[in-house]
Chains A and B, each alone.
Chain A
């Protein structure tokens, strides 16, 4: 199953949020023994660390949304491992569809655990380990992780046409992203993957975000809110890449289902050859 097929399956099965599920697993035997013996409240040390990682991820990759429970279309699975030499390493595996990418980083070299006087106390394990993961793993691989998220993980699922089919107006897509939370994306470009049921294929719309908000109407909750809107510029189907302006009549046959970030570009300079 390819990545888009996997995303489509989740979408059809009712997962409409493009959330990234975050887990943390302590694979180090001494750490496991230390933290397993001290259950604090209902949460395990693993869960506390995963919770504490959410703000760290949000700070570095604010374009995506992260959860620790529930269905999600992709995951970031963090691990800590240790060796007999005393070396401890962090790793993270990004899984989206059938694509898996892994990054590693040394947390503690031999001797360092003794120097710091042992592992963090149970009461602080979440905040301390999450801060170290952020420093050693996320900061060290920020560009590569960002590029992988950008290419493989949608920022949001779905979207509505702000457009009456058959009229002369140009199409706009309103995304289920609240303006207050997504305004920082208003200079970005996106790839909107759409279903094209009439042709039983997929089409990608290269689109530019607009600097003003539009109203999104949630069909399920009936909520209406100001949201980020896009101007589709090019339609790509296989090798065919055409300006949306030249295929306006076919636009209402498309159903947006997964929206990927293309460039996060607050500079707003045009690039030759259309939106990059």
Chain B
């Protein structure tokens, strides 16, 4: 076979295998451009031709979907004339036959939506049911949309209970899908008070558990509407709604204002809902409104909330107590602290409750009451350490707050005295070590080392202080806190500790890194002038008052009276070693005649 013949044969083969593919893409491109210009009839004919030449099922389905879109144009499914609707339906059936995987899922959805919009609810429901098995193999958001459509077909067929269940599944897939939430609550409203109230609180629970707090707030507000008195008389759902209100508020960083707005209608609604709901709501109200909560670690918060028995409920209440405390902080810090204590008593693992309480207590004027509370808090600390042994970050913060309180009082103490800064900073350091060991991306806290360094220095443990300061400097360098790193190295020097050769090599490495990150800046002319003046003043043989100093770009000009007693050499040699000085010029002025 000669070369020319081979080339022709290859070209023929190539054209056989590629021409339809090229033709397909050209037709699709022409169809898209026509569609872009609103020429949907032309676009439809191009896409239809593309369907005919498509070589793969995927291409065929892709072109079919484009063809359907062009056929529909700016008409809705319901608004299509019968002829166009027939063409669209035939195309969907073809797509359903050819499509696989995600395209099959889309074909099921879009065809069933078409049927639903055309009023053929039964067939739509059947197609949706055929395709719903694939919901597990698509994204949660896509599955949610499919299920929403499916539920609508069920609802339009009058099957309200299955529709509600499917809407619920849609919300489980994507709790942000507002149409599903709206449709589900619309069905709930149709169910009437007895059945509807239970379903409504179950849906609210789903929204809260999926962190849809805004949507949950909307639905709680609706449920508390005074017009829904009959619904609120359903005792079990009403009691659950009060519980869910606490859970919603506990999860919500922005709840404070809304809680205050919703509490009165909650109390009013709960009054309709039987004793359990009423009691729960009243206790919740007390958390917000009582001004006589005991400011004592010896009180028993469980007595304040007898209708909130489970640990999970008490944890929610604990968070709610923190929000209430924050609300009380400005008006009455004592009652704010009382709420932090309640929060801690309800959930001893809520270390932050003690952290905030300690921080508030520190702001109070000294008094025997304050000292007594402080003592109780130290005891509480050890209980918290047992209850929240793994919450290293919160325990670290608590030790830091307590450490700073003892530091302010000058109680450096010892590593074994819990009522001392040394113990608290040492404990904070150990919590930090545990935090770093348990979490790869633990925050960088050089201050923990710095404070422990200060404690060691105060209690005479210079080598340990030196090490902590150097560690603080190193950590500061990792987060580019250059000035803080410099300060830590100065503090290491200030301990007076003489490091070993190995330690000296280590600190030199730190210093080298510091210089690399932050080379020292040459002094400014003003700084040089200041330094020069100080050197002249310090020199025993020079009368600095007789000399004027000027500096320009490192060149120092000294102007002296001829009568001055000092020599030029003495002046120059005093000034020249100053950092930043490149040249010294001495001008001697003749005395006035």
Contact A162 B36 (CB under 8 A): yes
Check: B205 CB closer than 8 A to any chain A CB. no
Whether a CB of chain B sits under 8 angstroms from the CB of A64 is no
Residue of B nearest to A210 (CB): B36
Give the shortest distance, in Å, between B486 (CB) and chain A (any CB). Answer: 11
How far is it, in angstroms, between the C-alpha of A117 and the C-alpha of B33 when the chains are bound?
A: 61
- Inside 8 A of B75's CB, which chain A residues have their CB? 243, 245-246
B359 in complex: contacting residue of A111, A143, A211, A268, CB < 8 Å: A111
A81 CB to closest chain B CB (Å) equals: 13
Say yes or no: is A84 at the interface (Cβ < 8 Å to chain B): yes
A116 to chain B, nearest CB (A): 5
Per the 8 Å Cβ criterion, residues 241-276 of A in contact with B are 243-246, 248, 265, 267-274, 276
> Do the beta carbons of B356 and A212 come within 8 Å of each other?
no
Q: Per-residue CB proximity of B381-407 to A under 8 Å, as 1/0?
A: 000000000000000111111011000
Tell whether, in the assembled complex, residue B451 and residue A271 are in contact, meaning their CB atoms are under 8 Å apart: no
Tell which of A15-23, A216-224, A228-236 binds the partner: A228-236
A67 to B584, CA, bound (A): 52
| Bound-complex Cα distance A163 to B451 (A) | 71
The distance in angstroms between the C-alpha atoms of A109 and B357, with both chains bound, is 12
A120 to B360 CA separation, bound complex (whole angstroms): 25
Determine if A110 and B358 form an interchain contact, defined as CB atoms under 8 angstroms apart.
yes
- How far does the alpha carbon of A98 sit from the alpha carbon of B537 in the complex, in Å? 67
Contact A117 B446, beta carbon cutoff 8 Å: yes
Interface-central residue, B36, B176, B396, B483, by most chain A CB under 10 Å: B36
A99 to chain B, nearest CB (A): 14
In chain B, positions 113-144 with a C-beta closer than 8 Å to chain A are 113, 116-117, 138-139, 141-142
Contacting pair A271 B148 (CB below 8 A): yes
With contact pairs A87-B356, A111-B396 given, residues A269 and B109 touching in the complex (Cβ less than 8 Å):
yes
Of the listed stretches A6-14, A25-33, A49-57, A168-176, name the one at the interface; the rest are far from the partner chain: A168-176
Chain B interface mostly helix, strand, loop or mixed? helix
Residues of B with C-beta under 8 A to A163: 38
Q: Which residue of B lies closest to A121 (CB)?
A: B481
Interchain CB contact (< 8 A) of A267 among B35, B139, B476: B139
Asked if A172 and B36 sit within 8 Å, CB to CB, the answer is yes
Q: Knowing A111-B404, A116-B447, A268-B106 touch, does A243 contact B476 (C-beta < 8 A)? A: no
Residue with the greatest number of chain A CB neighbours at <10 A, chosen from B76, B109, B139: B76
**Cα distance A248–B79 in the bound complex, in angstroms:** 14
Q: Are A109 and B74 in contact (CB under 8 A)?
A: no
Number of residues on chain A facing chain B (CB within 8 A): 59
Q: Is the CB of A84 within 8 A of B363?
A: yes
Residues of B within 8 A of A274 (CB): 76, 117
Question: Does chain B have a CB within 8 A of A94?
Answer: no
The answer to whether A269 and B145 touch across the interface, beta carbons within 8 angstroms, is yes
**Given A104-B254, A211-B32, A121-B397 contact (CB < 8 Å):** no
Is B229's beta carbon under 8 Å from chain A?
no
A-contact bits for B292-312, CB 8 A (1 contact / 0 none) = 000000000000000000000
With contacts A85-B360, A117-B450 taken as known, whether A111 is within 8 angstroms of B397 at the C-beta atoms is yes
5 A-B pairs with the lowest CB-CB distances in the bound complex, closest first: A169-B38, A117-B447, A111-B397, A85-B359, A110-B359
- Between A and B, 11 residue pairs with Cβ closer than 8 Å are A85-B362, A103-B254, A109-B352, A116-B443, A117-B445, A121-B480, A144-B214, A211-B32, A212-B32, A270-B109, A272-B149
Residues of A near any B CB (own CB < 8 A): 83-87, 102-106, 109-118, 120-121, 123-124, 140-141, 143-144, 147, 162-163, 169-172, 210-212, 214, 229, 231-234, 243-246, 248, 265, 267-274, 276
Residues of B within 8 A of A (CB): 32-33, 35-40, 73-76, 79, 106, 109-110, 113, 116-117, 138-139, 141-142, 145-146, 148-149, 152-153, 176, 179, 211-214, 253-254, 329, 352, 355-356, 358-360, 362-363, 396-401, 403-404, 428, 432, 443-448, 450-451, 472, 475-476, 480-484
